[in-house]
Amino acid sequence: MIETRTYEGGPDELAAFASRVWHGTYAGKMMLPLWDARYFDWQLLSDRPGGRDFLVTAYDGTKLVGSLLGEKFRFRLHDREFDATMGSWLTVDPEYRRQGVGKLLFEEQQRRHQAHDAKFNLGYGYTGSRLSMGPKFWATFPANTVVLGHVGFWARMLDPATVSQWDLSRRDRIGSRILGLFQNHHPQPRDPAAYRPYRPDDLPGCLELSHRLLDRVDLGYVWSGERLAHQLSWGDMPRTLVAERGGRVAGFVNWYRLNFLGRFPIPAAMVDLMAFGSLSLYESKELLRAALDRMKAEGVKLALALRIASYPFWPLAQTGWIAIPREFSLICVRMDPTFSLDGARRMHLHWR
């Protein structure tokens, strides 16, 4: 008998389950993030208030057969603030598909959202391949599901030769080779010493800059100090580079490493947060170059960042980032179907 309950296991079990199912379903057919135990430990399982409230899993006896995982965030839509969740990793063991496991997971998530007065769950569905199962699943709940738009990435190759071999399609491999002829493979700031790693006493300044990102959007995170500190520094998982001016944090770039599987795995960097504050265009570009320089030194082959309204166009475009097609749907699953998302067009989110 299948039952749903809060995930109480460790990161190794969760990573092994997700890897086995996603790899078996999609490997060689579409680009695939390879979430490992360290990632899950940082993102979902490390201790913090309410950290496991929305970690819903399905078991057949002692066997893990499904997961629908989310994390609570404070959101602002125009002038309204409320709790909701950011989620992903809808995973069902192939042996248990078409047995209602996904529906059980959704119903339990809906119950928990309503109990915690969390309005919705936001996630991404890949639409670049007809094989992608997530958008099809959520379309079976039309009363709850709203597609808020389509998003793509900014991409910056740091090793074009490797990326051009990694791409799954022949067209993309040719495009990467051509693009690599025109990009600076070794982006460096003029003064690398002007940018330094994040320190805990930078948190108030980073928090202020993060809140100012909401001025550019309709819907976005209202970062708390505790959650932002976890985002910016936790063991060796996230990296954050800071620009300091007059003894104060003037801007920062935050990213983490994650392997992506195409024809083979490559190390990539996913930029989660960029805040340039009052930095000039030149200073913003220098901060980005400094971050790219650090990524390359750590062996990163490709850097990615969401194309969203909270990040300015010119610093990215002028440091070699390329806008790639919008192949993800931003899927909002309203746990209260009457909750209005009118006017939610410009976003401040990260990719999960």
User: Comparing 273 with 51, which gets the higher pLDDT?
Assistant: 273
Q: Are residues 98 and 227 in the same domain?
A: no
Average pLDDT over residues 73-97: 94
Q: Are residues 90 and 136 in the same domain?
A: yes
Rounded CA gap, 255 and 198, in Å? 12
- What's the CATH number where 65 sits? 3.40.630.30
Average pLDDT over the chain reads 92
Q: Are residues 194 and 317 in the same domain?
A: yes
Q: Are residues 135 and 175 in the same domain?
A: no
Q: What is the pLDDT of residue 187?
A: 83
Which region among 80-84, 180-184, 252-256, 346-350 has the lowest average model confidence (pLDDT)? Answer: 180-184
Identify the domain containing residue 137 by its residue range.
2-150+328-348
Q: Are residues 166 and 283 in the same domain?
A: yes
pLDDT band at residue 28 under the 50/70/90 scheme: confident
Which pair of structure tokens corresponds to residue 128?
A: 């670049």
In the predicted structure, residue 316 carries a pLDDT above the cut 70: yes
- What's the CATH number where 162 sits? 3.40.630.170
Q: Are residues 99 and 187 in the same domain?
A: no
Q: Are residues 167 and 290 in the same domain?
A: yes
In the predicted structure, residue 172 carries a pLDDT above the cut 80: no
Q: What is the pLDDT of residue 329?
A: 94
Task: Please return the burial class of 303, using the count of CB atoms within 10 Å of its CB with bins 0-12, 13-18 and 19+.
Answer: buried
pLDDT band at residue 186 under the 50/70/90 scheme: confident
Q: Are residues 313 and 335 in the same domain?
A: no
Q: What is the pLDDT of residue 171?
A: 63
Q: Are residues 163 and 268 in the same domain?
A: yes
Give the total number of structural domains in the chain: 2
Q: Are residues 73 and 201 in the same domain?
A: no
Q: Are residues 60 and 107 in the same domain?
A: yes
Q: Are residues 170 and 144 in the same domain?
A: no
Contact 144, 336 (CB under 8 A): no
